[in-house]
Structure 1
Amino acid sequence: MSYQKLANLYDKLMDDAPYNQWIEFTGEIFSRTGSDVQTIADLGCGTGQIASLLAHEGYDVIGVDNSADMLSVAQQRAQQENLAIQWIQQDLRQLQGLQNLDAAVSYCDVINYITDEDEVRTVFERVAKSLKPGGLFLFDIHSVNHVEQFYVNQTFADVQDDVSYIWFCTPGENQGEMYHDLTFFVSDGEKYDRFEELHHQQTYYVEFYKKLLHESGFKLCGLHADFSVTADFDEENAERIFIIAQNNR
């Protein structure tokens, strides 16, 4: 999967993403857990939308992503907004060099792009090593039910003057596995350039993540659905599941 061409379109395509809800949710979790958080790593930061908003909230932020093109867009954003954010190009499965962080977040279903069980465990272990004792790890995932009911075997499309796309979502061999086959048409003012992206995601039931977090040195602090910190957690009817864990090492 290459984000080279997609990086320049990503923010436009994600224009209606509820970034402020991620920030509000994060702050509420910090408050409810009584955590004194100053340094945060945004893991899988993409073009830096969430990282920049966290920096505006006064946190010391490190943005980590495996795509140099995404990070280039993120860095430009930070410069334009006069934000001092450290950007690191790194695969989360090889995360290293970060120590004693107060918290790490990984939003927009980044963890669902880690499609192998052992690799999910590796990511969790490396996050734990990057956090201080008691440090928090907040991430979100697609629920299995939502993937099966609203994504797989569906076709999505959007047509705008300067960019259009067709998106086929097909199931994989495993429950909760899906492939996103996207075709983009981007106007340069005279003609349309066509390019394709294939994305692979895998999600699991909450018990799977709880097991791997425990094995990686975390204790579970909370389960939430769809940005709510007050509603009772209902995995069956959730769309986006938030998992809150604390480094127990």
Structure 2
Amino acid sequence: MQHPPFTALAAVYDTMMDDVEYDQWTDFLLTYARDRGLGRGQALDLACGTGGLTRELLAAGWDVTGLDGSAEMLARARQRLPGSVPLVQGDLRTFELEERFDLITCVFDSLNNLLSTQELGQALTQSARHLRPGGLLACDLNTRLGVRDLWEGGVMEGVAPAADGSEVHYHWSHVYDEEEELGVVQALCRVVRDGGEVEEFTEMHRERGYDPQEVEPLLRAAGFAHWDIVEYPDYAEPQADTPRIWVLAWKGEAQ
């Protein structure tokens, strides 16, 4: 059965993404922040999903709010996170919160789900509006190359054992639409539960890649004063063959 993105997938997301390096990503971005004088404070984790990075920020001593567009993903996050953590359903392009934050994060190529520079600019503008002066936006983006050549052979497949004894059989296929300049992923999952019950679903996901020269004018227009666009994990300058970039952008004077 076909489902909207990040709805049915929420139930198996953590099983499939068990090896995602949320802890190392957190060290990467917080090391950058600390080296420039930004310590603990209020953080907003955009596109927080099931709370993988949110949990790491909490462990590092930050007060964190999570925001995501998917009610299903937020329901899973509520199971993983302390009840005191605010979780808000909202759109990256239009969210409005009363609080202002010292740090805003948005990871795991979530911004690539915005399919035009206009939409990405809207999200960056909303992030800038929700930062305190001197606050930091830390996000990653797949480049155009990264979206075009997402997986070798265009397929990711395997079997992931879940904590409840079930198995998630997945076959994700990727094609690149040259005309639309979009990567299209068909995510097929088949959940085999203990006792033989089978559930199968499909979601379609689309991403657009963004190169540094496309992102920089959007950061400027959003009101950021200074930024670094780097590679993970060594903060090196991106090259022509870089598949994913990290954007570290400051509101107000650079720290």
How high is the TM-score relative to the length of structure 2?
0.89
Structure ranking higher in helix proportion: 1
Letter in 2 for 1:170: V
Query: Following the alignment from structure 1 to structure 2, what is the Cα–Cα distance between the partners of residues 6 and 243?
Result: 27
Question: Residues 148 and 173 of structure 1: is their aligned pair in 2 closer, same or farther, counting only changes over 3 Å?
Answer: closer
Question: What secondary structure, in the 3-state scheme, does the structure 1 residue paired with 2:240 have?
Answer: helix
CA apart distance, 1:163: 1.1
Aligned match of 1:198: 204
Pairing 1:175-194 to 2, within 5 Å after superposition: 177-189=182-194, 190-194=196-200
Query: Following the alignment from structure 1 to structure 2, what is the Cα–Cα distance between the partners of residues 56 and 34?
Result: 19
Letter in 1 for 2:204: L
Segments of 5+ residues of structure 2 without an aligned counterpart are 162-166
Aligned match of 1:9: 12
Letter in 2 for 1:78: L
Cα-to-partner distance string for 1:133-159 (whole Å, 9 max, x where unaligned): 121111001122233334487122113
Aligned match of 2:119: 119
Question: What secondary structure, in the 3-state scheme, does the structure 2 residue paired with 1:126 have?
Answer: helix
Aligned match of 1:217: 223
Query: Following the alignment from structure 1 to structure 2, what is the Cα–Cα distance between the partners of residues 220 and 236?
Result: 22
Query: Following the alignment from structure 1 to structure 2, what is the Cα–Cα distance between the partners of residues 146 and 122?
Result: 22
Matched, 1:226 2:229: no
CA apart distance, 1:248: 3.2
Cα-to-partner distance string for 1:164-200 (whole Å, 9 max, x where unaligned): 1111101124575201111111012313211001001
Q: Which sits farther off after the overlay, 163-172 or 174-183?
A: 174-183
Residue in structure 2 matching 1:59, options 38, 59, 62:
62
Matched, 1:242 2:246: yes
Question: Residues 228 and 98 of structure 1: is their aligned pair in 2 closer, same or farther, counting only changes over 3 Å?
Answer: farther
Cα-to-partner distance string for 1:196-217 (whole Å, 9 max, x where unaligned): 0100111111111111010110
Segments of 5+ residues of structure 1 without an aligned counterpart are none
CA apart distance, 1:98: 4.0
Query: Following the alignment from structure 1 to structure 2, what is the Cα–Cα distance between the partners of residues 160 and 78?
Result: 23
Please tell me whether the aligned partners of residues 55 and 85 of structure 1 are also in contact (alpha carbons under 8 angstroms).
no
How high is the TM-score relative to the length of structure 1?
0.91
Question: What secondary structure, in the 3-state scheme, does the structure 2 residue paired with 1:140 have?
Answer: strand
Aligned match of 1:107: 107
Query: Higher relative CO (CA 8 A, sep ≥ 6), structure 1 or 2?
Result: 2
Please tell me whether the aligned partners of residues 135 and 247 of structure 1 are also in contact (alpha carbons under 8 angstroms).
yes
Question: What secondary structure, in the 3-state scheme, does the structure 2 residue paired with 1:108 have?
Answer: coil
Pairing 1:62-211 to 2, within 5 Å after superposition: 62-79=65-82, 84-151=84-151, 154-160=154-160, 162-173=167-178, 177-189=182-194, 190-211=196-217
Query: Following the alignment from structure 2 to structure 1, what is the Cα–Cα distance between the partners of residues 176 and 153?
Result: 7
Aligned match of 2:34: 31
Letter in 1 for 2:226: L
Letter in 1 for 2:210: Y
Please tell me whether the aligned partners of residues 55 and 61 of structure 1 are also in contact (alpha carbons under 8 angstroms).
yes
Please tell me whether the aligned partners of residues 143 and 238 of structure 1 are also in contact (alpha carbons under 8 angstroms).
yes
Aligned match of 2:164: none
Please tell me whether the aligned partners of residues 169 and 181 of structure 1 are also in contact (alpha carbons under 8 angstroms).
yes
Query: Following the alignment from structure 1 to structure 2, what is the Cα–Cα distance between the partners of residues 180 and 214?
Result: 31
4+ runs of 1 displaced by more than 3 Å?
149-153, 173-176
Aligned match of 1:41: 44
CA apart distance, 1:46: 0.2
Matched positions, count: 244
Residue in structure 1 matching 2:21, options 14, 18, 24:
18
Letter in 2 for 1:88: V
